[in-house]
Amino acid sequence: MYALDFADLTPELFLAEFWQKKPLLLKQGFKHFTDPLSADELAGLALEEEVESRVVQCGNGDWQMETGPISDFARFGERDWTILVQAVDHWHSEAATLLDPFRFIPNWRIDDLMVSFSTPGGGVGPHLDQYDVFIVQGEGKRHWRVGMPDNSLKQFCHHPRLLQVSPFNACIDVVMEPGDILYIPPGCPHEGISLENSLNYSIGFRAPAQKDLLTGLADYLIDNDISGRRFTDPARPVSNNIGELGSADLAQVKQLLQQLVSDDASLPLWFGQYISRAKHELDLQEPDPHYQAEEIAEYLEEGSELTLTGGLRCCYHQASSEGSEPADIALFINGEQYLLPGDELTTAKLLTGQRQLDEQQCRHFLELPERLGLMVHLINLGYWHFTE
């Protein structure tokens, strides 16, 4: 639905010259842009308990933030406030299509689509993000300033839940109009102030921190009852200082930890499960009663098409084969692992690379009972549903 216009760039040149290096403005990156949802629809999402939302308001330097659900917007007045709704792609299928033009970057790196509506003067103040983001201007106009990373900038809180940054020099200073796109790398200070009622769409990317990776690895080891090797010291010398943590002991502790993440067989298994878990609530509609395989086969034979539930994370890993037969494929969907035979790469690609399966692609799952069984299972979980 949306076609990204890189102007004189290509995705390859963008990644080489701008990705995680410097910000970029794409005037009319989406030509003839139309908003996939309205401000009223966004406000409707903010009414829901399951949807993460917040309103940020500033009057005379007094910053306030309120978390959703939010039912009364009239009390905020006609200017100087912004509503932000996370993971809109989980709840609004048309808005979810805004992610598709950015899928020249692997799915696992894409986080979610945050949508904001701002009245004149609305914004969240100058701040830093620790992840990449594309900001698409929808309805209205917004004044954006973006700077390069600067270690001299100070971060502070005008409000306990609003981390902002000190004034910065801008390398991009622009009024964005519908269809304009702004790319901001991690660590670049930026601020957007709405000039009129406006909608913004933020495509954010996942950037797991070492702490989170280690926590995820620990959870995987506990869940799978993996203890690994224990500390041993058969060549232990007599200690001259029993209170010291010796460098040789620390070196072995470091080696034990490194061995956990250096196992090429287990690394993709825990990371695939970890990175495919949804960070926000999913709009899963599990069929009741569950479908039987015969019913699904009949629907697919009649030409039915399937759609992936918004926000569902899917990826796969296939190790390099050492023999004549291809290695098994580990398929990861919403934190769960499914093992596929090595010759089922097409199946893995369809389930992880497509948001919709057309009639011909659906028929692929009719060719083998195992494929059909997998699809029945995924449909009964609410992961895939028949296209309306």
Instruction: Compute the half-sphere exposure of residue 330: CA atoms within 13 Å on the CB side of its CA.
Output: 18
| Per-residue pLDDT at 1 exceeds 80 | no
Q: What is the DSSP letter of 29?
A: S
Give the tens place of pLDDT for each residue, 224-255.
Answer: 888 888 999 998 999 889 999 999 999 999 99
Alpha carbon distance 364, 375 (integer Å): 11
Range name among 79-83, 249-253, 260-264 with the lowest pLDDT average: 260-264
User: What are the residues whose beta carbons fall under 8 Å from the beta carbon of 26, sequence distance 6 or more?
Assistant: 5, 6, 7, 180, 181, 182, 183
Domain 210-275 grouped into CATH 3.40.366.30: yes
In this predicted structure, what is the pLDDT of residue 227?
Answer: 85
Average pLDDT estimate for 15-20: 97
CATH superfamily of 11-205: Cupin (2.60.120.650)
Instruction: Compute the half-sphere exposure of residue 351: CA atoms within 13 Å on the CB side of its CA.
Output: 30
What is the residue extent of each domain of the chain? Answer: 11-205, 210-275, 293-386
306-308 sheet: strands from edge to edge: 356-357, 306-308, 384-386
Q: What is the mean pLDDT of the chain?
A: 93
Average pLDDT estimate for 374-386: 97
The token pair at 187 is 């660590």
Q: What percent of the chain has pLDDT over 90?
A: 80
Q: What percent of the chain has pLDDT over 70?
A: 100
- Per DSSP bridges, beta strands 81-85 and 53-59 are antiparallel
Q: Tell me, which fold does domain 293-386 have in CATH?
A: Malonyl-Coenzyme A Acyl Carrier Protein; domain 2 (3.40.366)
Give the tens place of pLDDT for each residue, 187-206.
Answer: 999 999 999 999 999 999 99
| Per-residue pLDDT at 72 exceeds 90 | no
Give the tens place of pLDDT for each residue, 141-193.
Answer: 999 999 999 999 998 887 777 889 999 999 999 999 999 999 999 999 999 99
- Asked whether 181 and 134 are in contact (CB, 8 A), the reply is yes
The band of 133, judged by pLDDT with boundaries at 50, 70 and 90, is very high
Average pLDDT estimate for 32-57: 95
In this predicted structure, what is the pLDDT of residue 156?
Answer: 84
- Asked whether 76 and 57 are in contact (CB, 8 A), the reply is yes
Whether 210-275 and 293-386 share one fold: the answer is yes
In this predicted structure, what is the pLDDT of residue 89?
Answer: 96
Q: How far is CA 232 from CA 214, 220, 248, 259, in A?
A: 23, 24, 12, 14
The band of 261, judged by pLDDT with boundaries at 50, 70 and 90, is confident
Give the tens place of pLDDT for each residue, 315-359.
Answer: 999 988 777 789 999 999 999 999 999 999 999 999 999 999 999
Alpha carbon distance 83, 69 (integer Å): 11
Instruction: Compute the half-sphere exposure of residue 97: CA atoms within 13 Å on the CB side of its CA.
Output: 14
In this predicted structure, what is the pLDDT of residue 183?
Answer: 98
Rounded to two decimals, the pTM is 0.91
Query: Helices 345-353 and 369-380 sit at what angle, rounded to 10 degrees?
Result: 20
Q: How far is CA 150 from CA 23, 154, 171, 185, in A?
A: 14, 9, 12, 13
Average pLDDT estimate for 24-45: 96
Average pLDDT estimate for 73-101: 94
In this predicted structure, what is the pLDDT of residue 2?
Answer: 87
Give the tens place of pLDDT for each residue, 272-306.
Answer: 999 999 989 999 999 999 999 999 999 999 999 99
DSSP string computed for 137-203: E-SS-EEEEE----TT--EEEEETTEEEE-----SEEEEE-TT-EEEE-TT--EEEEESSSEEEEEE
**What are the helix (H) ranges across the chain?**
11-17, 39-46, 93-96, 210-223, 247-261, 267-275, 293-301, 345-353, 359-363, 369-380
